[in-house]
């Protein structure tokens, strides 16, 4: 043992790991389709074998019930694995494309190839899903990878590292646990691709670090995602969807509806339906529900608790700091300048504002004037209004007459735009994101 400081050891470990992975990648093994396929199958077996430990870790860190943890974390990863295994051979094949008529006796192909060494930095809100979903794309494309799980969910972090070490040699796929200093040391290394999921401020830090090496980067961030309920909406179904989308994981979801805009003609009926749905889903006293997720830590709890003083409380409003629990809360008498409207809430608090027919255009202008959201939700049967809103508002992805479900489709790329992120993944798009597309013209001589 040396007397080097922990920081020095961490830097040395990160650097040595990158060197080992660089050497292994250059051996060419990861480019073999059979090798990638076996790696994905090995990962799938590892997840199945550790299913209960994953559920236990998510309960310990975030108090997620087994049903919620499986559906929002494990099932999504297994589905992504199965879809990728089904299509990988087709995705990886060179694609023949037309050649310009001005060039005779030539063929043109696009050859997907791995970038090389990839760094995946995962967040704490869905710590299992958001570590392993991008890893599937990195493996499928033929890369080596280092996964940095979030230190804010220590049980899932340890399990992630153990699972990866049990499935792979670290010169191929590795996990590095640690605090912010570990992420900083990793970002100093030269990776060939960086995939980050987290907050916009930290995303800027990652992008600055990536710029030092001109490393291409995907940023999966967040933002204030609106939900609009128009006067012709199916209010019962809208309430069910809004409650599920907003209060899943106690609102700690990057694509959760961040605020609600409801037409004044249906405001009271919608709010009644929302209250009924909350009681039906979580019980009359949510703070007594042992399965309602907790806020991740005291810092985030205190930040959210300050928002409870905004406007007036329509429903909920209670918070227990000793349990890091906040019940589903609706706030009224909120305007665009209220503190709760100045940053992403990321908790079980839903501000409610109303609009009239004559105010709808100004509402859309207010949304457009703000940073582009990661998600957008519109509840209406009016197809003309649907098209108007879709043509007017820029957002990462979203739903009409639903919430959240767009991110579960393998056929829909998931990602942000502007302040809510750059790049996308899921399904084939994960493979494309982690691949460089090499264009080759071959002239016959």
pLDDT tens digit sequence for 259-274: 999 999 999 999 999 9
Bridge pairing between strands 435-443 and 95-97: unpaired
> Residue 248's closest CA among 51, 405, 134?
405
Mean pLDDT across 16-41:
97
Edge-to-edge, what's the strand order for the sheet holding 106-114? Answer: 95-97, 106-114, 435-443
Q: Can you tell me the distance from the alpha carbon of 41 to that of 230, in angstroms, rounded to the nearest whole number?
A: 46
- Residue 349 has φ and ψ, to the nearest 5°, of -125, 125
Assigned token pair, 438: 């090499």
Which ranges constitute the DSSP H helices of 223-316?
235-247, 267-282, 298-307
Indicate the average pLDDT of the chain: 95
Q: Can you tell me the distance from the alpha carbon of 270 to that of 272, in angstroms, rounded to the nearest whole number?
A: 5
Burial environment of residue 346 by CB neighbours within 10 A (0 to 12, 13 to 18, 19 or more): buried
Using the structure block, give the residue that is written with the tokens 């006796």.
Answer: 105
> Residue 119's closest CA among 244, 221, 178, 206?
206
Does 4 score more than 60 pLDDT?
no
Mean pLDDT across 302-331:
96
Burial environment of residue 398 by CB neighbours within 10 A (0 to 12, 13 to 18, 19 or more): buried
Percent of the chain, pLDDT > 90?
A: 97
DSSP secondary structure code for residue 383 in this structure: H
Assigned token pair, 73: 């974390």
The alpha carbon of 223 is separated from its chain's Cα centroid by a whole number of angstroms, namely: 12
Q: Can you tell me the distance from the alpha carbon of 207 to that of 169, in angstroms, rounded to the nearest whole number?
A: 28
Mean pLDDT across 368-384:
97
What element of type H or E holds 157?
A: helix 154-167
Q: Can you tell me the distance from the alpha carbon of 200 to that of 222, in angstroms, rounded to the nearest whole number?
A: 7
pLDDT of residue 445: 87
pLDDT of residue 32: 97
Q: For the CA atoms of 203, 208, 212, 214, what is the dihedral angle to 10 degrees? A: 60
DSSP secondary structure code for residue 248 in this structure: G
Q: Can you tell me the distance from the alpha carbon of 132 to that of 81, in angstroms, rounded to the nearest whole number?
A: 10
Q: Can you tell me the distance from the alpha carbon of 338 to that of 362, in angstroms, rounded to the nearest whole number?
A: 17
Using the structure block, give the residue that is written with the tokens 């349990």.
Answer: 323
Mean pLDDT across 373-380:
98
CB atoms closer than 10 angstroms to residue 356: 12
pLDDT of residue 13: 86
Handedness of CA 304, 310, 314, 319 (dihedral sign): positive
> Residue 119's closest CA among 17, 194, 220?
194
pLDDT in tens, 217-255: 999 999 999 999 999 999 999 999 999 999 999 999 999
All domains in the chain, ordered by first residue? 6-221+421-443 (3.40.605.10), 226-415 (3.40.309.10)
Q: Which of 8-22, 229-243, 332-346 comes out lowest in average pLDDT?
A: 8-22
Which residues belong to the active site?
Answer: 220, 254
Q: What is the pTM of this model?
A: 0.94
Query: Please, which pLDDT band fits residue 2 given cuts at 50, 70 and 90?
Result: very low
């Amino acid at each position: 043992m040396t007397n080097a400081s922990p920081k020095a050891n961490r830097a040395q470990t990160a650097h040595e790991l990158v060197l080992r992975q660089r050497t292994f990648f250059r051996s060419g093994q990861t480019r073999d389709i059979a090798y990638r396929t076996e790696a994905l199958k090995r990962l799938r077996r590892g997840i199945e074998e550790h299913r209960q430990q994953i559920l236990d870790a998510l309960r310990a860190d975030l108090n997620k019930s087994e049903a919620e943890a499986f559906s929002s974390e494990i099932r999504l990863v297994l589905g992504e694995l199965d879809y990728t295994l089904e299509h990988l051979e087709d995705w990886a094949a060179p694609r023949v494309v037309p050649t310009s008529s001005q060039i005779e006796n030539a063929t043109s192909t696009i050859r997907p190839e791995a970038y090389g060494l990839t760094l995946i930095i995962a967040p704490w809100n869905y710590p299992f899903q958001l570590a392993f979903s991008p890893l599937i794309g990195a493996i499928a494309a033929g890369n080596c990878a280092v996964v940095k799980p979030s230190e804010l969910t220590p049980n899932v972090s340890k399990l992630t590292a153990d699972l990866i070490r049990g499935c792979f040699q670290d010169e191929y796929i590795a996990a590095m646990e640690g605090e912010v200093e570990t992420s900083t040391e990793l970002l100093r290394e030269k990776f060939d691709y960086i995939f980050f999921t987290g907050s916009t401020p930290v995303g800027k830090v990652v992008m600055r670090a990536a710029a030092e090496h001109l490393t291409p980067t995907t940023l999966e961030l967040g933002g204030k995602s609106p939900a609009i309920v128009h006067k012709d909406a199916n209010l019962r179904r809208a309430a069910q969807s809004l409650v599920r989308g907003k209060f899943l994981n106690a609102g700690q979801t990057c694509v959760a509806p961040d605020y609600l805009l409801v037409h004044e003609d249906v405001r009271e009926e919608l709010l009644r339906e929302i209250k009924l749905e909350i009681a039906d889903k979580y019980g009359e006293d949510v703070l007594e529900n042992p399965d309602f997720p907790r806020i991740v830590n005291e810092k985030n709890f205190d930040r959210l608790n300050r928002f409870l003083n905004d406007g007036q409380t329509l429903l909920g409003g209670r918070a227990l700091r000793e349990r890091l629990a906040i019940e589903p809360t609706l706030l009224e008498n909120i305007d665009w300048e209220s503190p709760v409207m100045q940053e992403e809430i990321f908790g079980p608090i839903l501000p409610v504002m109303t609009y009239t027919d004559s105010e709808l255009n100004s509402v859309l202008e207010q949304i457009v004037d703000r940073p582009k959201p990661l998600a957008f939700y519109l509840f209406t049967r009016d197809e003309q209004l649907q098209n108007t809103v879709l043509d007017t508002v820029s957002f990462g992805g979203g739903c009409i007459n639903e919430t959240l479900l767009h991110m579960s489709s393998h056929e829909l790329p998931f990602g942000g735009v502007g302040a809510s992120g750059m790049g996308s993944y899921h399904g084939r798009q994960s493979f494309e994101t982690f691949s460089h597309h090499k264009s080759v013209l071959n002239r016959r001589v």
